[in-house]
């Protein structure tokens, strides 16, 4: 399956490591990653997925695809700013949200609106988001919930 | 100023009346309204604004501008589905959220991300949203906060 | 009806005057104008329409609606760059193209793709575009062709 | 480099074969392909690129990424209809246009507007498009022109 990973573009080392583990688990289990293509959680998750041999997609706000973080295999430039947020969650079968601020909140809302299962790790407490406590449980949740959708 | 009003497309009579009062106050005070152009809160707010002689804009998800609710003066078709949500809040100086579900949540996140003041009336409890208890206080909040931005 | 006017953002005085006449005729005959909201043909057409008492809409590439030319009544910011081009022609019942370069060419293609009648005044020679020789014939063409669509 | 291939979604066998050869040459020479993800020229080009071991991206108008043609490796759903056209050409370093109608015309205009070199094979005669007479010369043109941009 393909999983959207969303979260802050500037994060602590602890959050970065969590996101990297999420990405690594996704790659190990044969999933493809899609994210917003930038730094922080997005970079960490791409890095983990790629280290595990998986494929990573970054859907960027800007119009220059070389602005993607170095772990994005397939960058997609949009030049649409925040109007690209819907595409990040639309292009995954399920979403994992890690940390993050208002941009992440908007993507959680959009993911739920598209009917995507959402696992939340140290992120916004939103009805409909499955709060999980580890990278492992995040990935397990989206595997079980996403395969039904 | 121009104010974005967001909220559910299918709402109770009580919520509809609140949204209509918000719209009416906006029109009375010389503000322009922008919304998603559909039913429920969007229709009620447009109706109120128009009844007060104000101008209403509806930014629609579909590609047919005649699908706007009958109180939209200037419908804008996008054919972009939920990817039009950012445009609804980008095009106001401030946002009033009334009721609403996941689509509204995504717009609250986007409004905050764009740095827009957000007043919330019976809606999601989100950090950064000013919770108000009446149409009057909603409009007063966005007037005071929006004029600084 | 609502008519899209497209064309160059930097034009000669002769072209500017033609676009202004197109806009003036549209306003006089009770039509609404939609354009890309910027300078050149867009400004001239808005100016003419407004001078005739008509309503003008500008769908902007940037995210700041105050960047619209001064004759736009209802500016719509998109922050989407050229990805807003489809919205300019989607939001009219017919299109008048005046002068213009590659951006205008893309909008002609999109207008035809949406099935909109297109009148061309000193612009690209494209199959499907009705070449006209005056503001008067441009407006008459879109009135006759657009009312059928 | 990454090359956008644009053209009709329903084409003759002769055109299909040309597009497949273009795709095959791109894959053989180590280029990545991006297209609109649908049938006709898009399918043929993806097929050729994949047969040569290259990677193919399809940026779709609809919101269901499984609607991509079977030769797309990385489908990107947009749900934006024609408003996704800009993304197809923005995401390549150069464009090859083959056959095609109004949608292709809009993409040629957008590609030129973004400053992308465009090779045209049996397509619209547009100033700024390098008219070529074979898949080989199309690929050679974008290689030489695209590497400068």
The CATH number given to whatever domain includes residue C30 is 3.40.50.450
User: How far D123 CA sits from the closest chain C CA (Å)?
Assistant: 12
pLDDT at D147: 66
Nearest to C35 by CA among C84, C1, C106, C102: C84
Residue A3 has pLDDT above 90, yes or no: yes
Confidence of residue A148 (pLDDT cuts 50, 70, 90): low
DSSP for chain D, written as a single string:
-EEEEEE-SS--HHHHHHHHHHHHHHHHTT-EEEE-SSSTHHHHHHHHHHHTT--EEEEESSS-GGGS-TT-SEEEE---GGGGHHHHHHTSSEEEEES--HHHHHHHHHHHHTT--EEEESS---TTEEEESSHHHHHHHHHHHHTT-
Which residue of C7, C86, C125, C129 is the best one to mutate when testing the D interface, meaning the one whose CB has the most D CBs within 10 A?
Answer: C86
pLDDT mean over A3-19: 97
Question: What's the pLDDT score for residue A146?
Answer: 76
- Would you say residue B149 has pLDDT above 70? no
Q: Give the span between the Cα atoms of B91 and C59, in whole angstroms.
A: 11
The residues of chain C scoring below 50 in pLDDT are 149
pTM, rounded to two decimals: 0.95
B62 CB-contact burial (10 Å; exposed 0-12 / middle 13-18 / buried 19+): middle
Q: What is the pLDDT of residue C57?
A: 98
| CB pair distance less than 8 Å for B106 and A110 | yes
Does a structural domain hold residue A12? Answer: yes
C30 touches chain B (CB under 8 A): no
What range defines the domain where residue B31 resides?
Answer: 2-125
User: Is position A99 within any domain?
Assistant: yes
In a domain, C149, yes or no: no
B29-77 per-position pLDDT tens digit: 999 999 999 999 999 999 999 999 999 999 999 999 999 999 999 999 9
Give how far C73 is from chain B: nearest CA, Å: 11
Distance from CA of C144 to the nearest CA of A (A): 36
Confidence of residue B147 (pLDDT cuts 50, 70, 90): low
B105 part of a folded domain: yes
- Residue D53 falls inside a structural domain: yes
- Choose among A80, A109, A128: nearest Cβ to B106: A109
Could you tell me if residue B74 is inside a domain? yes
Give the pLDDT of residue C147. Answer: 66
Which chains reach chain B with 3 or more Cβ–Cβ distances below 8 angstroms?
A: A, C, D
Confidence of residue B5 (pLDDT cuts 50, 70, 90): very high
pLDDT of residue B146: 76
Residue A149 has pLDDT above 90, yes or no: no
Structural domains counted in chain B: 1
For A136, residues 6+ apart whose C-beta sits below 8 A from its C-beta are A25
Question: At residue D12, what are phi and psi to the nearest 5 degrees?
Answer: -70, 165
In a domain, D88, yes or no: yes
Instruction: Give the pLDDT mean for D85-109.
Output: 96
- Report yes or no on C104 lying in a domain: yes
Q: Does the complex come out with an ipTM higher than 0.90? A: yes
CB contact under 8 A, C109 and D112: no
- Please report the pLDDT score of residue C146 as a whole number: 76
Task: Calculate the alpha carbon distances from B92 to A108, B96, B116, B125, D38 in Å.
Answer: 22, 10, 8, 21, 37
């Amino acid at each position: 399956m393909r999983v959207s990973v969303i979260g802050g573009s500037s994060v602590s080392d602890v959050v970065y490591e969590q996101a990297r583990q999420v990405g690594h688990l996704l790659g190990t289990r044969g999933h493809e990653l899609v994210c917003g293509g930038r730094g922080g959680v997005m970079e960490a998750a791409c890095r983990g997925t790629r280290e595990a041999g998986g494929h990573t997609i970054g859907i960027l706000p800007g119009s220059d695809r070389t602005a993607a973080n170095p772990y994005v295999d397939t960058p997609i430039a949009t030049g649409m700013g925040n109007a690209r947020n819907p595409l990040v969650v639309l292009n995954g079968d399920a979403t994992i949200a890690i940390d993050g601020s208002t941009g992440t909140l908007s993507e959680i809302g959009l993911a739920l609106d598209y009917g995507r299962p959402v696992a939340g790790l140290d992120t916004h407490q939103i009805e409909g988001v499955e709060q999980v406590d580890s990278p492992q449980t995040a990935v397990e949740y989206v595997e079980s919930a996403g395969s039904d959708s």
